[in-house]
Amino acid sequence: MARSHAIAGGHATRPAEIWNLQDLLRDPARDLDVLQQELEEQVRCFEGFRGRLAAEIPTETFLNALKLAEAITRTTSRLGAYAYLWFSENTKNQKARVFKAAVEEMQAGFANRMLFFDLWWQKLDDANAARLLAGAGDYTYHLESLRRFKDHALSEPEEKIINVKSVTGRRALVGLYDILTSGLTYTLTINGKARRLTREDLLVYVRAPDARIREAAYRELYRVFAQHADVIGEVYKTLVTDWKQEHLSLRKHRSPIAVRNLMNDVPEEAVEALLAVCARNAGVFQDYFAIKARLCRIRKMSRYHI
């Protein structure tokens, strides 16, 4: 994907980077209408499988449903990728924000109409699940992953509510954070001259050869973020609470990290073993950084020099 430059709001010292997104969509407004109509037909066809889902469903019918779901997901993901990249170019762009909101609402709507299939698959008995998995081919891992979550799945109406509310809740907060932080500007003195920078520009200097510049870049980042600590802290707190309420209170996961381990398909025992070994060998890390500080002639190792 190529990039070009154009003037846009929300950036301090240089033109915004404009992605060439032609491989995803040629004309966002027109293509969204066309693809939404195509998706509507495909989803309506997919809904026709609801009455055919039974323990003895033929493998061919099951695979046909999966292929249709894959086609729908490929299109909605393409729209989602375009929407997010366009929004990321310049979070102040109202057209991009409206487009992103429309795509997310559409995605949630279609996902809710297709939800019945995943829930049925999660509840299917092991014998018939094994029968269908035997002929699933490239879909095998996806299907196995869905069944990993069967003990934490809610009812269809509950799952639909979560999907809808995520658009106006969790995603909206992340979007608010992106809009706020992408518009922040920073001032850093380089070679005696004060420069006004974006966050991306500033972060280049946290790896500068000069230790004083590294520290100054970090401190400037913290200074500007601290000015918005109330809003940023509230966003973070709300996202953490949302995660806790959904995954621990509703879905009954054992711990917050257990959710992520399950999503990543990593056994909890492996993560716990990793953390335990790291904790036991903390001295190795401390010795390493002490040696690094001595070789780099840093008086005191800190976050600025890691």
Domain match, 159 and 18 both: yes
**Inside any domain, residue 39:** yes
Q: Which of 27-31, 102-106, 157-161, 246-250 has the lowest mean pLDDT?
A: 27-31
Q: By residue range, what is the domain housing residue 276? A: 269-306
Q: Longest Cα pair distance anywhere in the chain, in angstroms?
A: 76
pLDDT greater than 70 at residue 10: no
Residue 260 domain-assigned (yes or no): no
The secondary structure of the chain as a DSSP string is --EEEE--TT-SSSPEEEE--TTT-SSHHHHHHHHHHHHHHHHHHHHTTGGG--TT--HHHHHHHHHHHHHHHHHHHHHHHHHHHHHHH-TT-HHHHHHHHHHHHHHHHHHHHHHHHHHHHHHS-HHHHHHHHHT-GGGHHHHHHHHHTGGG---HHHHHHHHHHHHHTHHHHHHHHHHHHHT--EEEEETTEEEEE-HHHHHHGGG-SSHHHHHHHHHHHHHHHHTTHHHHHHHHHHHHHHHIIIIIIIS--SSHHHHHHHHTT--HHHHHHHHHHHHHTHHHHHHHHHHHHHHTT-SS--GGG-
Q: Is there a single domain that holds both residue 276 and residue 160?
A: no
CATH number of the domain to which 32 belongs: 1.20.140.70
Claim to verify: residue 8 and residue 154 sit in the same structural domain: yes
Q: Average pLDDT, stretch 107-126?
A: 97
Would residue 27 count as lying in a domain? yes
Q: What rounded mean pLDDT belongs to the chain? A: 92
- The mean per-residue pLDDT over the stretch 68-72 comes to 98
Pick from 148, 167, 186: which residue ends a domain?
167
Same domain for 8 and 150: yes
Percentage with pLDDT > 70 across the chain: 94
Domain-located, residue 16: yes
The half-sphere exposure of 67 on its side-chain side, counting CA atoms within 13 A, is: 8
| pLDDT score of 6 more than 70 | no
User: Which tokens in the block code for residue 304?
Assistant: 């600025």
Structural domain includes residue 186: no
Of 111, 135, 167, which one is at a domain's C-terminal end?
167
- Are 154 and 277 in a shared domain? no
Task: List Cα–Cα distances, 70 to 24, 83, 224, 248, in angstroms.
Answer: 17, 20, 44, 30
In a domain, 234, yes or no: no
Same domain, 15 and 145: yes
pLDDT band at 29 (very low <50, low <70, confident <90, very high): confident
Q: How confident is the model at residue 19 (pLDDT cuts 50, 70, 90)?
A: confident
End position of a domain, from candidates 167, 198, 227: 167
Q: Is residue 222 part of a domain?
A: no
One domain, residues 157 and 302:
no
Asked whether residue 213 carries a pLDDT value surpassing 70, the answer given is yes
Say whether both 21 and 150 belong to one domain: yes
Please write the tens of the pLDDT for every residue from 30-56.
899 999 999 999 999 999 999 999 999
Asked whether residue 248 is assigned to any structural domain, the reply reads no
Residues 133 and 21 in one domain: yes
Number of domains in the chain: 2
CB atoms within 10 A of CB 21: 17
